[in-house]
Amino acid sequence: MGVLDGRVALVTGASSGMGQATARLFAQEGSAVVLAARRGDLLQALADEIAAAGGRVLSYPTDLTDRAAVDALVAATLDRFGALHILCNPAGTNIKRRALTVLDPAEWDGMVDINLTGAFNVTRAVLPAMRAQRDGIIIHVSSGAVQAPDVSGVAYQATKHGMVGLTHGTMAEEKANGIRCTVLFPGLTDTPLLDKRPVPTPPEVVAQALKSEDVAAACLFIASLPSRAYVPDMRLLPSAL
C-alpha cells in the first residue's frame, strides 16, 4: 500500500531532473501519474519504466506555454483516469546570458512565458476538475534564490518570485473549494539546469548539492498530507552548503 494509492497526479517537467524523480516516486507510492514535458522520447522512456513496474501512467508531451495544449493535457488526464488530485509543477528553465548587462529582452520574455505563464496555464487548467471534486493539491517548485538573491539572473529570480504570488493567491481564492497550494523552494540541486550556468559549478560543490530525489521526497510529503493540513511554503536546502 502506497501513501498515494487511488490518487492521480500530473507532473510537469517529467522528462528529467526534479519532475522525473517526482513522477517516479509518486508512481511507486501508488498514484497514477501523467507525465508532461516537451521531450516526448524521454517521457515515453519513463512511462515504459513505470508501466513495467506495474504503475498506471500516461505520457503526454506538452508545451506549457501553449494554453490549448495544456487544456488538452488535462482533458486527456480526466479521460484516462477520471480524476486529477495532484498537480506538481517543477517545470522551468534558465538561460546562460542572464546578467543584466547581456540579457536580451526576447530571452526575458521567454523566461516569463516558460516559468511563470506556464505555471499559470497549468494551474488554470486543473482548477475546474479539482473544484468539482472538492479536492486538490497544487505544488509549484520555485527556487531558494527567492529567499537569498544570487546571480542566477533577474529573469529567473523574477519569475520564481512570481510563482510565490501565484501559489498563495490561488490558495486564498480556492481553499473554500478544498484545494491546497504549496510553493517549494529548493536550494542548489544537481539537475540538468546546472548545465545552463554561464560558468560551470565546481564538481566539489555539485557533490554537496541536493539530488532530484530529495525534492521528490519533499513533494511526496506535501502531497500525502490529510486534507485538514497544508504547507504554505517549504524551504529545502543542502545541509553542507
- Say if residue 161's pLDDT is above 90: yes
- Average of per-residue pLDDT across 194-199: 92
Single out the catalytic residue among 143, 156, 185, 191. 156
Can you identify the CATH homologous superfamily of domain 8-235?
A: NAD(P)-binding Rossmann-like Domain (3.40.50.720)
Mean pLDDT of 88-94: 96
Tens-digit pLDDT profile for residues 17-58: 999 999 999 999 999 999 999 999 999 999 999 999 999 999
Q: What does pTM read for this prediction? A: 0.96
- 225 pLDDT band (50/70/90 cuts)? very high
Q: Phi/psi at 160 (nearest 5 deg)?
A: -70, -30
Q: What mean pLDDT value characterizes the chain?
A: 97
By the 8 A CB rule, do 46 and 23 touch? yes
Mean pLDDT of 184-206: 94
Cα 179–131–37 angle (5° rounding)? 75
Burial class (CB in 10 A: 0-12, 13-18, 19+), 191: buried
Q: Is the pLDDT of residue 96 over 90?
A: yes
Percent pLDDT > 90 in the chain is 98
Helices (H) and strands (E) in the chain, counts: 8, 9
The dihedrals phi and psi of 58, each to the nearest 5 degrees, come to -135, 125
Q: Domain-by-domain residue ranges, the chain?
A: 8-235
Work out the average pLDDT over 83-88.
Answer: 98
Q: Averaged over 89-117, what is the pLDDT?
A: 96
* pLDDT score at 149: 87
Mean pLDDT for 193-215 is 95
Q: Based on the residue annotation, tell me whether 230 is a catalytic residue of this protein.
A: no
pLDDT number for residue 41 = 95
CA angle, 189 then 124 then 36, to 5°: 45
pLDDT at 216: 98
For residue 173, what pLDDT is reported? Answer: 98
pLDDT value, residue 1: 78
